Amino acid sequence: MTTEHRATNPDRPPDRRRDRPPDRSPEQVPGPRPDGSTARLHLPAGSTAAGPYSTVVEPDSAGWEFTSLRVLELPPGGSHAFGTGESEWIVLPLAGACTVTVTPGPPPLTPVGDGGAGPGEGRGDGGPGGGSGGTADGGGPGGEAAAPGDRGSGDAGDAGDCGTRAAPATPAPPPGTDHTTRAFSPASPAGTVPAPDAGDDGAGTPTAVFQLRGRTGVFDAVTDFVYLPRDAHAVVTTERGGRFALPGARCTRRLPARRGPAEEVGVELRGSGTCSRQVNNFAAAGAFEADRLIAVEVLTPGGNWSSYPPHKHDEERPGRESRLEEIYHFEIADAPDGTPGLGYHRVSPSGPGRRSDLLAEVRDGDTVLVPDGWHGPSVAAPGHDLYYLNVMAGPGEERAWLIQDHPDHAWIRTTWPDQPADPRLPLYHAPPAAGARAGDGDVPERPVEGDRP
């Protein structure tokens, strides 16, 4: 087992994501694969950064077949263009609002360089291209309702009270990356609308524009999102800057681009007592249609455990277990005095050929890969709420999330019906649908037992 611990740096600046201390350099964490190769399982924040992406996980770098994650950071007025390749993607605002323009077909950009390492257009891996976080002429589209601010502060619906995060310095893009800046006219209200000044891309291909209201931060609100099909070209542009997750999965079917409204995201409580957590089922298998991609958000109050009991999904057993690769991407709330938080995450071997083994201290912006093995718990330190984005995909014919609990720990589920859920949950509800009464929500009255994190 690889165990990692890093001492807290008392001089760490408030924005840990931009300026990591020396003790946060990448470590090689062995993760044996059946073919004998290894991959890092714990990716400290910034250790996989490339171009405008602060985090880059793709199948080749992870040593698996399907699952990807990028975290795109754009300054005010910035835009980023990329081709979806052979993968389906979701644009999920973590902080900020944006407009997403989608055109079917290959990206109308000429690949630069030799198509080498790193994110780039024209590559065969289906990863988004590394366009620039440039400045759009005259600023971005109007009508954006949320601006990124300090996590855990302010009202998610009142962007005016939230300070705009400083724009990150954008590293030079790697070879094979396209670098582009585009200007856009103001877009229409949220939903799908014709592209500004054009109904197609000049070649008869329809173009759609999706306006995302986003949110001030992951601890503040549910967000809307956009699904991007494979074999398409997309541009993300933002008036006030922001941070946007791009979970993705290699796939075969090409589904239509569409917006997922925040009002339709199921907010669910799972577990009880100190195992209570909140799950935002924005792209769960039974909640949103995709070909292979499964993605949810999990929020764990400080002091609680989630992804517990430990469970696995590394074998294809119809009706009992799915084989799914999984990514955990963490954000951790600061203490009231601004002290950075931390958490812990465990992955342990589940059988022959499935030997992933990790106990890691995780910080804001870290990522953990789970190619196989029992995983859990994810532990939130007292005083620091823990968020993670789960991204999964696998080879099964059925897009399903079926797990097996660790036999030594499954008994904990039997205690949940006799305990109340943590009163701190939910941290927030999905916004009410049009016509719903104020205060309506979709959080169950009792914790839901299930085979989820």
Look at residue 29 and tell me whether its pLDDT is greater than 60: no
Q: What amino acid is encoded at 67 in this protein?
A: T
Q: What amino acid is encoded at 107 in this protein?
A: P
Poorest-pLDDT segment among 82-91, 113-122, 371-380: 113-122
HEC-encoded secondary structure of the chain? CEEECCCCCCCCCCCCCCCCCHHHCCCCCCCCCCCCCCCCCEECCCCCCECCEEEEECHHHHCCCCEEEEEEEECCCCEEEEECCCEEEEEEEEEEEEEEEEEECCCCCCCCCCCCCCCCCCCCCCCCCCCCCCCCCCCCCCCCCCCCCCCCCCCCCCHHHCCCCCCCCCCCCCCCCCCCCCCCCCCCCCEEEECCCCCECCCCCECEEEEEEEECCCCCCCCCEEEECCCEEEEEECCCCEEEEEEEEECCCCCCCEEECHHHCEEEEECCHHHCEEEEEEECCCCCCCCCCEEEEEEECCCCEECCCCEECEEEECCCEEECEEEEEEEECCCCCCCCCCEEEEEECCECCECCCEEEEECCCCEEEECCCEEEEEEECCCCCEEEEEEEECCCCCCCCCCEECCCCHHHHHHHHHCCCCCCCCCCCCCCCCCCCCCCCCCCCCCECCCCC
CA dist 67 and 118 (Å) reads 16
Q: What's the mean pLDDT in 71-77?
A: 98
pLDDT in tens, 267-307: 999 999 999 999 999 999 999 999 999 999 999 999 999 99
pLDDT in tens, 318-360: 999 999 999 999 999 999 999 999 999 999 999 898 989 999 9
The pTM for the full model equals 0.75
Poorest-pLDDT segment among 84-98, 144-158, 179-193, 387-401: 179-193
Look at residue 403 and tell me whether its pLDDT is greater than 70: yes
Poorest-pLDDT segment among 28-37, 58-67, 83-92, 403-412: 28-37
Q: Contact, 50 vs 118, CB < 8 A?
A: yes
Q: What's the mean pLDDT in 68-94?
A: 97
Q: Between 185 and 82, whose confidence is greater?
A: 82
Specify the pLDDT at position 208: 94
pLDDT in tens, 104-130: 876 554 333 333 333 334 333 444 444
Look at residue 146 and tell me whether its pLDDT is greater than 70: no
CA dist 342 and 369 (Å) reads 18
Specify the pLDDT at position 431: 92
